[in-house]
Chains A and B, each alone.
Chain A
Amino acid sequence: MKNKMMSLLQATDLIKDNMLLAIGGNAMHRTPSLFTLALTRKPVKNLKLCGAAPGLATDILLASQQADTSYFGFSGLENEAGLSPGMRKGMEGEGKIRAIEGS
């Protein structure tokens, strides 16, 4: 079987502009936050993100403005941390990120 193990930074090389990324986990739990944090060090842009209940990992890419679209059923950090700050920054008022809500 092909060995797919690689470093976090090598993995971020797989991501190109305009890609649609499915990001796992829900809210503050089980999200690949270190991966999206590593992605903020790359000049990648116009990403499309999707998840059932995206949280921290997704919000990092919304805050860094590297994503231009987010597909979600619920996007937030649950009661303890509240609404997602990156989502609010990117979607409220003149924010440029598109919210595609399917609920």
Chain B
Amino acid sequence: MEYGKPEMMAAAIIRQIEDGDIVFHGLASSTPMVAMKAAKAMGKEFTYLTLSDGVDHDWTRAPYVASTLTENTYTGSVATFGLDEIFDLYCSGKGDIAFLSCLQMDKEGRIAMSYLGGDYERPKLRGPGGAGSATLPPVTKKTTIWKTTHDKKTFIEHVDFATTSPPLDKEMTVITPLCIFKKPVGEKYLKVAYIFPFTTLEEVKENTGWEIDQMEVPVMNPPTEEELTALKKVDPNNILHFEFK
């Protein structure tokens, strides 16, 4: 079965989830939404929380737009659990994964979501804001950032204003269309953990705004038949490709 960058990123997201995990994504999160529905279709045993207040909604309900605020992230839920309760749960240390994204990121894994250019009072571009990204990484076991572009405008040496920065005592994972970066527990900087089968470490270096001094990194296995079948099954309207247009 053929696959491209969207399917590879979705497979990486699926593999990030382990049985028993409590996993949350918020709004504007179509890529993790499709991947998480596919993980459910594959029988992974995890708790799926959404900003629609749903818990383990009926994953067979296919998304029809790229929003993650529609009824298909709530209908069939086993419980109603509001955003305030989700934040309380994570702040008590019980959240395993929060899927977040960013406008820009730097080599320390610091995320810009508030603004780009200028200053806070007079920004050149006013971003949407962190949407929980300041609160969640310090208390979440495996914060996972996905970003569907990988270039030197996005992954830069140093962000002007960090909406959040990853805590030293937690791991953080960053999934891009080319590779996976990880910031290990106790370390400050991101490292390339895997590259995807269709790229090279050279291409990753050429598209990253900080110097990567690694000489060799493992290649992640391509999406399996099972993963690709599950992605197709849960996403007949191909919402997975929306963020890659």
Q: Which residues from chain A sit less than 8 Å from chain B, CB to CB?
A: 26-30, 52-53, 72-76, 78-80, 83-84, 87-88, 91-95, 99, 101, 103
Interfacial chain B residues near A99, Cβ < 8 Å:
120, 126, 129
Partner of B131, one of A83, A94, A95, A103: A103
Tally of A-B Cβ pairs under 8 angstroms: 90
Residues of B within 8 A of A78 (CB): 27-28, 66-69
Q: Is the CB of B69 within 8 A of A72?
A: no
Complex: A23 Cα to B114 Cα, angstroms: 21
Q: Cβ of B27 and Cβ of A74 under 8 Å apart? A: yes
Q: What is the CA–CA distance of A88 and B67 in the complex, to the nearest angstrom?
A: 21
Residue B243 at the chain A interface, CB threshold 8 Å: yes
Stretch at the interface among B132-140, B151-159, B194-202, B208-216: B132-140
Asked whether any CB of chain A lies closer than 8 Å to the CB of B236, the reply is: no
**Interface residue from A28, A53, A84, A93 paired with B124 (Cβ < 8 Å):** A93
Whether A103 lies near B83 (C-beta < 8 A) is no
Interchain CA distance A53-B243 in the complex, whole Å = 20
Contacting residues, chain A, for B113 (C-beta < 8 A): 103
Q: Which B residues lie within 8 Å of A74 (CB)?
A: 26-28, 128-132
Rank and list the top 9 A-B pairs by shortest CB-CB distance, nearest first.
A103-B130, A74-B131, A76-B128, A103-B134, A29-B69, A91-B126, A78-B28, A79-B66, A101-B129
Chain A residues whose CB sits within 8 angstroms of the CB of B65 once the complex forms: 80
Contact in complex: A92, B123 (CB < 8 Å):
yes
Complex contact A27–B132 (CB within 8 A): no
Contact of A80 among B26, B67, B126 (CB under 8 A): B67
How distant is the Cα of A74 from the Cα of B127 in the complex, in angstroms?
A: 9
Min CB distance A74 to B, Å, is 3
Nearest-neighbor residue (CB-CB) of A84 within chain B: B128
Contact for A75 among B68, B69, B129, CB less than 8 A: B129
Asked, given contacts A74-B27, A74-B131, A103-B163, whether A79 binds B243 with beta carbons under 8 Å apart, the answer is: yes
Contact of A27 among B28, B83, B133, B163 (CB under 8 A): B28
* Closest residue on chain B to residue A98 by CB atoms: B121
Interchain CB contact under 8 A, A83 and B67: no
